[in-house]
């Protein structure tokens, strides 16, 4: 049995002071037996960003079958992050 799901994530960052950033991440992940993988490359759209405040990437943790969103704040130390995730899944 296998599954596939499309995902859409919104990620926001706010640093102490004026700096902020927003990202939208879209993609597709599939699981067939014990094989978990992204299908194609996820699309990361920068909605807005002050300088090089932050970046966002998506990976699959094969050992735990997890979809992982990684965010980095660059040289800015005090950053708060929040995200929301919408998925559409099908099993076969």
Burial degree of 4 (CB within 10 A; 0-12, 13-18, 19+):
middle
User: Quick one: tokens of 16?
Assistant: 């102490």
Q: Is residue 65 part of a domain?
A: yes
pLDDT for 61 equals 79
Q: Which residues contact 3 (CB under 8 A, 6 or more apart)?
A: 30, 31, 89, 90, 91, 92
Query: Tokens in use for 46?
Result: 């920068």
Classify 68 as helix, strand or coil: strand
Does the residue 35 lie in any domain? yes
Residue 90 lies in a domain: no
- Count of domains forming the chain: 1
91 within a domain of the structure (yes/no): no
pLDDT tens readout for residues 5-56:
999 999 999 988 888 889 999 999 999 887 888 999 999 999 998 876 778 8
Structural domain harbouring 57:
2-84
In a domain, 17, yes or no: yes
Q: Under DSSP, is residue 91 helix (H, G, I), strand (E, B) or coil? A: strand
């Amino acid at each position: 049995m296998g599954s596939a799901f499309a995902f859409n994530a919104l990620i926001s960052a706010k640093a102490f002071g004026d700096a902020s950033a927003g990202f939208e991440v879209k993609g597709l992940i599939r699981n067939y037996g014990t094989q978990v993988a992204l299908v194609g490359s996820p699309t990361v759209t920068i909605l807005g960003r002050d300088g090089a405040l932050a970046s966002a990437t998506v990976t699959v943790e094969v050992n735990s079958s997890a979809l992982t969103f990684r965010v980095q704040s660059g040289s800015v130390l005090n950053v708060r992050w929040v995200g929301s995730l919408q998925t559409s899944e099908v099993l076969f």
